Amino acid sequence: MGAALIRVGGLTRVFWLAAAMSLVSALLARSMPDYGSERRATAPHLSVSSVLAAHRRTLLTVGVAVVIISASRALRIGLLPLWAEHVGLSASTTSLIFGVAAAVDLAFFWPGGWLMDNYGRFVVAVPVVATTAIGCLLLPLSTTAVTVGAVMGLIAVGNGPGAGIVMTLGADTAPVEGGAHTRAAGDCAATSAAPAERCSWGPWPRWRPRRPPAS
């Protein structure tokens, strides 16, 4: 859909579509029932600092893994569009490549859940980081839509089975009391991984290879 909108009306329409979908998502979330309100009303109140201090070992081990996984996922969202623009791909082509990669992601959701339930979290967490690393090594060799799409597909194959791994690790390690605090801390760390990683890309425009001028 995004590629078609870009093709027909330019990038502006895609941003309007994203805004509309975000609004619909917010309305759906607002309409969902709060199933945990009764339990929270009777649970003892714990401060955030006390919960984080009591479970600091878990946050410093599993939390670091969550940050690494989240940073790996943020890499494809920020870096691959820059590379696609660098090699001369149009916005609609880049959008189409991302759409196909998202379909590959979705295709591996169910197998990833089965693997997590039967063989543990490790078998799906490692491929998320490993395929992203391999994809980044291959990215400088991709100069066409086909090769960029192949790199995106490779990353999607590793990322798809790891769908939900961050939330699953949070649920696995959350204590009975104060679990919401530890999960919130994990989500905060995972969310901050993306902007922190992108801030490190400051030198990127200086060292990246330049396209030869069109003759």
Q: What local confidence, expressed as pLDDT, does residue 26 receive?
A: 92
Q: What local confidence, expressed as pLDDT, does residue 150 receive?
A: 94
Burial (CB < 10 A; 0-12, 13-18, 19+), residue 21, is exposed
Q: What local confidence, expressed as pLDDT, does residue 6 receive?
A: 77
What's the half-sphere exposure (Cβ side, CA atoms, 13 Å) at 104?
Answer: 17
Specify whether the CB–CB gap between 114 and 140 falls below 8 A. no
Cβ neighbour number for residue 107 with a 10 Å cutoff: 12
Q: What local confidence, expressed as pLDDT, does residue 104 receive?
A: 92
Q: What local confidence, expressed as pLDDT, does residue 28 receive?
A: 92
Q: What is the pLDDT along the chain (215 residues), one digit of tens a residue?
A: 777 777 777 778 888 888 999 999 999 988 888 776 676 666 667 777 777 777 778 778 887 888 888 888 888 888 888 899 899 998 889 888 988 998 999 999 889 889 988 998 888 888 888 998 999 899 999 999 999 999 999 999 988 888 888 888 877 777 776 666 666 666 666 666 555 555 554 554 444 445 544 44
pTM score of the predicted model? 0.70
Q: What local confidence, expressed as pLDDT, does residue 8 receive?
A: 78
